[in-house]
């Protein structure tokens, strides 16, 4: 409906916020190579409803442009886990992940890896995808660097935030324990199929084509934690 309305109103280009969920699930690239914008999630594989919905939604957008988009252009941004400074108590799943760590609600960490990017850099990439002629018909992965394990994320938060992150655990849980917990906890159950998978993705296309220069993963994570502290959204260490 949005794309049809945009086309009918004479809009030149729509920038769709998709997700790494539409790129990096269901199958791995050969030879351990990083995921790129050429990769697509297999929605017929054993993936979560969220991952499947993101994949089908982006596919539908490209199909619309091809079939009835007329002169309407489409560009897509595919962010990984979005971190950075939060604005209030109603914040995202990714930043809530850091909040749980800092509140001591994660005494053990699953063996997972995922990408990190700052919300401010995701916004910047959207503007570039909207205004740069080269972005027409292209997808762009929004990722600050190599993927990090949950343990590496925890360690980065502890290192950068010091006493404020004293409740952050860096103890890794065995996979079998996470699977057992997943039998009784829906949140843990969604992690089971990704346990131990070493994923990575590259931002080379956004850097090369659009001149995108994201801040570091560590800066994004530190900004998340510092804003949570500033807004009183984490417990004060004793």
d(CA 122, CA 80): 10
d(CA 26, CA 44): 8
d(CA 4, CA 17): 17
Whether 27 is a known active-site residue: answer: no
d(CA 129, CA 123): 10
Helix intervals (H) in 114-196: 119-131, 150-161, 175-182, 186-189
d(CA 73, CA 127): 15
Helix intervals (H) in 17-174: 49-68, 93-102, 119-131, 150-161
Taking each helix axis from N to C end, the angle separating 217-230 and 93-102, rounded to the nearest 10 degrees, works out to 70
The four Cα atoms 128, 149, 50, 24 give a dihedral, to 10 degrees, of 60
Q: Which of 46, 52, 54, 238 is catalytic?
A: 54
Instruction: Give the catalytic positions in this structure.
Output: 54
């Amino acid at each position: 409906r949005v794309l049809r309305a945009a086309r009918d109103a004479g809009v030149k280009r729509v920038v769709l916020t998709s997700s790494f969920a539409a790129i990096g699930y269901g199958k791995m690239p050969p030879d351990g190579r990083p995921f790129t914008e050429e990769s697509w999630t297999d929605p017929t594989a054993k993936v979560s409803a969220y991952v499947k919905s993101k994949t089908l939604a982006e596919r539908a957008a490209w199909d619309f442009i091809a079939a009835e988009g007329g002169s309407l252009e489409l560009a897509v941004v595919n962010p990984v886990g979005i971190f950075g400074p939060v604005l209030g108590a109603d914040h995202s799943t990714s930043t809530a992940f850091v909040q749980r760590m800092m509140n001591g609600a994660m005494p053990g960490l699953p063996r997972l890896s995922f990408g990190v990017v700052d919300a401010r850099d995701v916004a910047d990439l959207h503007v570039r995808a909207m205004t740069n002629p080269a972005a027409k018909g292209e997808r762009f992965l929004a990722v600050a660097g190599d993927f990090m394990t949950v343990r590496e994320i925890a360690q980065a938060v502890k290192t950068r935030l010091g006493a404020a992150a004293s409740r952050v655990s860096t103890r890794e849980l065995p996979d079998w324990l996470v699977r057992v917990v997943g039998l009784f906890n829906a949140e843990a159950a969604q992690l089971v199929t990704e346990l131990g998978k070493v994923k990575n993705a590259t931002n080379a296309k956004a850097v090369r084509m659009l001149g995108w220069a994201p801040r570091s993963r560590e800066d994004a994570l530190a900004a998340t934690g510092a804003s949570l502290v500033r807004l009183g959204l984490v417990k004060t260490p004793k």
